[in-house]
Every structure is written in C-alpha cells, then in structure tokens.
Amino acid sequence: MNLHEYQARDLLRAAGIPVPAGEVADTPERAGEIAAGLGGRVVIKAQVHAGGRGKAGGVKLASGRAEAMKAAGAILGMKVKGLTVTKVLVAPAAEISSESYVGLLLDRETQRPVFMVSPAGGVDIEEVAATAPEKITRVAVDLRYGLLAHQALGLALRLYDDFPRARTAAGILQQLYRVFVENGAQLAEINPLVTTPDGQVLALDAKVVIDDNELDRRPDLAALRDESAEAPAEVAARRAGLTFIKLDGNVGCVVNGAGLAMATMDLVKFYGGEPANFLDIGGSSNPEKVVNALRIITSDPNVRAILFNIFGGITRTDDVANGIVTAMGRFKVELPVVIRLTGTNETEAVRILEGVGMRALADMDEAVKQAVALARGAAA
C-alpha cells in the first residue's frame, strides 16, 4: 500500500527524523491560510502516489498567502503521471545546500532489507543507476542485528565528507531502518535528504510503501489507505475479494489460483499476446466473484478478448459457469470470450454454458492461442 508523502512524513517524524512540519489542504484558500500561519517561504507539494512531481510542476515555492493560493490553485486539479491532484502539502521551505538520496527496500533475492544511498539526490534513483551507478552504495542489513553503527556511519560518509553531518545522517539512517521494520514497509525512501547552509540535515520528501500483508494486524496503518488515489479497478477488486493487478496488454485473464494465473500469463506471452491483468478469483465457489471479475476486466478499454482459465478443484467449475452466465445476463459483454475449464463438475459446467450458446475448451494451450488470436484480430 502506497502512502502519501504527508503520511510518510508523519511516520519519519515519529521516529525522530528531522522533517519540516506541514499541513494538508484541498483548496487554494486553505493552502493560503496555512502559508499565512507558517509565515515566510513555503513549499506547496502535490500529494499523489507518484514520484517526479517536481519535474511535472507539482512542487512550487511561494511566499505569503496570495502566492501560496496561486501555487496551490495551479497544482490542485493538475495531473501527475495520470493521477489527479486533490490535496497539497504546505510546509515551510528549506534552504538547500546539497541533495542526497537515501532508500531502504526489501530485496527479494537476498531476502534482506537493502540500504541504497547516493550523494546524487533530488533526481530519480533509476536515473542515477543508469547514468552513474558508481554513485550508489548498497548495504544489505541482517535482520537479526539491524543496521549496525559502523554500517550506518560508513553509508553516511558516502554522502558527506564532514564528520558532524555524517554523524547526523548516520542517526537518520538508523531511524529510517526503524520506520521500515516497525511499520512492515517494503520501501522507505528519503529523496532528497538535504543539508542547509546552517548545517542541518533534513528530510524534504518521504516515500513509504507498506507491505499489504501487514495491514490485517496494523489497523492504524490500514486506516491510512486513500482509495480515491488508487486505480479504481484495484479498489473494486480488493472489495470483491479478488487479487487483481492491472497490466498493459489486451488479453483479460480470469483464473483461479495464483500459480495458474501466472502460468496463464506466461502462456499468453508465449503465444505472442500480452495479458491485460493478473486476476486470481481464489478457491471459493462463488458466482458473484466471477460477475465482479468480469465487470472489472470489461471496464479496461484496452481489453480485446477475455480468457477464462479454470482448473476445478475446490473451485467448482459449474459455479464459475453460472457466474459467467449471470454476468452476461447482467451487463452486455461485447468482447470475445474464450473459456477453458476442467475438473470438478465440468460436465455440468459445459451443459450450463451450452445452454446459453457458449462453449468451453478443455485444453489450456488451445484456449490461450484462441484468446491471443481474437485479441489481435479485434485490435486490428
């Protein structure tokens, strides 16, 4: 789950990291009021789940109420990477001497949190990795011991030559590690971590992604979810109890079981197609899930064909067939549909589908080939 910058800043601040105070506004008037209350120069920042806001014009400096209102007016309603801005953060602006990057992410390969730091901050770390990889230093942390003092100082000395700043930064790295572990994060990032002319080290941006598996036992974190900022299809899927990830292809996939869903996507690609989504309807026998799945997939304008791949075990294929028939009756599905089902109650399932003039295949390769061809034909 992505947090907004202002929420991530609160987590960092609670761990003791120096982050300028700020408040959130959803109108230019409110932004003006906050700016007037803070006094001096402020920074107004779009709150969306996307980086690169600076480049997109979503971060502006302003002085005083009128300027702040104008800046907030320009940012509210704008789009950053396709996401509409409905909230801005208003915070006192810092004077910047240097910008560096500090990040901590879960590395699945080493199964450890890995720190990445770079003195080249303020820009996307992907850009630094591509153009000047030698400027990035990585250290994997052993979860049994946490970030050791010498590791923290070693990383900090890659950012700053002078010892007082490096010591401060080392402390911030330790605190960031605590934020990561204590909140079940899969990513915690400060970009930029800045130095000011008077020698302070401050976090001016914060990004935290919480592992979804953490949310059941952390209602306080779960409450931070902002559904208005998430992809509508993913919100609908979560509410319907479906595991859904939107992708960029045109073959909509409805599959039961995560493993089969992955295999289906692989096969779609193998036959020259591109999956429009990952979707696992789960193991339960509930026709309503199929209805919801179809509604979500058909609302994606990229989808040109729909592929069902159902292996009946606990999932009863006749229930899935009933779900398909119910969905077709409730809303018009204009797209070609290819159904492959086999397993529990398949004879019954085939009978149900044939009753409404649909047919089902038993062979997975054949079904995937057909769906890819139909998607290509309809897309041409």
The residues assigned a catalytic role are: 101, 189
Q: Min. distance of Cβ 266 from Mn ion in angstroms?
A: 35
Q: Is 54 in the site for ligand GDP (CB under 6 A)?
A: yes
* Cα gap 38→222, rounded to integer Å: 30
Q: Which H helix or E strand runs over 329?
A: helix 317-330
Which residue spans within 265-376 are E strands per DSSP? 277-280, 305-312, 337-343, 360-361
**Contacts of 285 by beta carbon, 8 Å cutoff, 6+ apart:** 314, 315, 316, 319
Q: Name the residue among 101, 107, 112 with its Cα closest to residue 147.
A: 112
Size of the residue set binding ligand GDP (CB under 6 A):
16
Q: Which residue is closest to ligand GDP by CB? A: 54
Q: In b/e form, how buried is each residue of 83-108, taking b as 16+ CB within 10 angstroms?
A: bebebbbbbebbeeebbbbbbbbbee
Q: Check if the beta carbon of residue 210 is closer than 8 Å to that of residue 144.
A: no
Q: Which is nearer to ligand GDP, 57 or 313 (CB)?
A: 57
State in angstroms the smallest separation of the CB of 48 from Mn ion: 12
* Binders in 178-197 for ligand GDP, by CB under 6 A: 191-192
* Binding to Mn ion, residues 195-214 (CB under 5 A): 205
Which residues neighbour 4 within 8 Å (Cβ) at sequence distance 6 or greater? Answer: 47, 48, 49, 87, 226, 229
Interhelix angle for 317-330 vs 287-298, to 10°?
50
Which of ligand GDP, Mn ion, none has residue 361 at its interface (CB below 5 to 8 Å by kind)? none
- CB closer to Mn ion, 189 vs 318: 189
CB-CB contact of 39 with 64 (8 Å): no
Partner touching 94 among ligand GDP, Mn ion, none, CB below 5 to 8 Å by kind? ligand GDP
Shortest distance, CB of residue 366 to ligand GDP, whole angstroms? 47
Q: Using the rule CB under 5 A, is 189 a contact of Mn ion?
A: no
Q: For the CB of residue 207, give the shortest distance to ligand GDP in the complex, in Å.
A: 8
Burial environment of residue 223 by CB neighbours within 10 A (0 to 12, 13 to 18, 19 or more): exposed
Smallest distance from Mn ion to CB 79, Å: 18
191 belongs to the binding site for Mn ion (CB under 5 A): yes
* Residue 280 touches Mn ion, criterion: CB under 5 A: no
Residue 171 site contact among ligand GDP, Mn ion, none (CB < 5 to 8 Å, cut-off depends on kind):
none
Rule CB under 6 A: is residue 93 a binding residue for ligand GDP?
yes
**What does the binding site for ligand GDP look like in residue numbers (CB under 6 A)?**
43, 45, 51-54, 59, 93-94, 96, 99, 122, 191-192, 204-205
**What does the binding site for Mn ion look like in residue numbers (CB under 5 A)?**
191, 205
